[in-house]
A and B are shown apart, each in its own frame.
Chain A
Amino acid sequence: MEDSRAIRLVGTALRCYPARWRQRHGEEAAELASLLIKDGTPAGSVALSYLAGAARERLTPRPGPRLTAVACALLLAACSLCASAGLLASAAPARAASTVQPGGHPQCRPVSSEQAPVVAHAMNRPQLISWEAGHDRSC
């Protein structure tokens, strides 16, 4: 293989590494490749080794500021989810009780006089009110 073509091939493989890796090892890696090719190692084999190394480098997770930030974000999301769930759980009885008020929801029909006893009877079971009052969905 021509020298210039081999150098281009290895250069392409080296560009697949993350920037921080290239900054640290880039020059030495290019020099090492040219020495190995001069010794008779096929340029394709050197390029392939660098390509595999680049893939490993990108796929291997490293502990660092980025990972810490992701971990913090996940923790924050989990905390807010727990807080929301807690708020919803504490607000649920109040929301259910509010459905007995006629006209509280635009789609709720007012309770007629003949339905009033049913509603009154169901006061202790708020989740049944919407059915017994004739609503087509839960308010």
Chain B
Amino acid sequence: MSKRDSSDGRDLLRRVGESSVLILISLADGPKHGYVLIQDIKELAGVELGPGTLYGALDRLERLGLIEPLPTDDRRHPYRITVPGAAALRVHLDSLERVSAAGRLRLQLGGI
């Protein structure tokens, strides 16, 4: 995981796409399976993830080691965020906050 962790401050989530970031945010407060993820993301961001998009993003995040499936006998597979996943999310949110603050400041300076 040395290549993939966010301990060096690199924003790993810059290129994974919005849906992957939303999934990580949704998993940040506890494990969830597909249907609950879709409902939660719709509620928190107003984005309706298609099921095909959801599974693509889940597979990508799992390959990156940012989430992991929990063992279950049920056909529904819950996922949880991993420690590197939480670190990557933190770095990405910090980066978004900086960009957001800069944007607001420039709008203020421009008087628009």
Write the residues of chain A forming the contact surface with B, with a CB cutoff of 8 angstroms. 21, 25, 27-29, 31-33, 35-36, 41, 45-46, 48-54, 56-57
Q: Which residues of B contact A50 (CB under 8 A)?
A: 50-52
A33 touches B76 (CB 8 A): no
Q: How large is the interface on B (under 10, 10 to 19, 20 to 34, 35 or more residues)?
A: 10 to 19
Chain B residues touching A, majority SS: helix
Q: How far is the CA of A54 from the CA of B35 in the complex (A)?
A: 19
Q: Which residues of B contact A21 (CB under 8 A)?
A: 55
A28 touches B56 (CB 8 A): no
Q: Is B53 an interface residue (CB 8 A)?
A: yes
Q: How far is the CA of A41 from the CA of B3 in the complex (A)?
A: 40
A31 touches B38 (CB 8 A): no
Cβ-Cβ contact count across A and B, 8 Å cutoff: 52
Nearest chain B CB to A76 CB, angstrom units: 28
B50 touches A25 (CB 8 A): no
Q: Which residues of B contact A33 (CB under 8 A)?
A: 51
Contact with A along B75-90 (1 / 0, CB 8 A): 1110000000000000
A32 touches B52 (CB 8 A): no
Say yes or no: A36-B38 contact (C-beta < 8 A), given A28-B76, A46-B50.
yes
Could you give 26 example pairs across A and B, Cβ below 8 Å? A21-B55, A25-B55, A28-B34, A28-B76, A28-B77, A29-B55, A31-B35, A31-B75, A32-B38, A33-B51, A36-B35, A36-B51, A41-B48, A49-B50, A49-B51, A49-B53, A50-B50, A51-B52, A53-B50, A53-B52, A53-B53, A53-B56, A56-B52, A56-B56, A57-B56, A57-B59
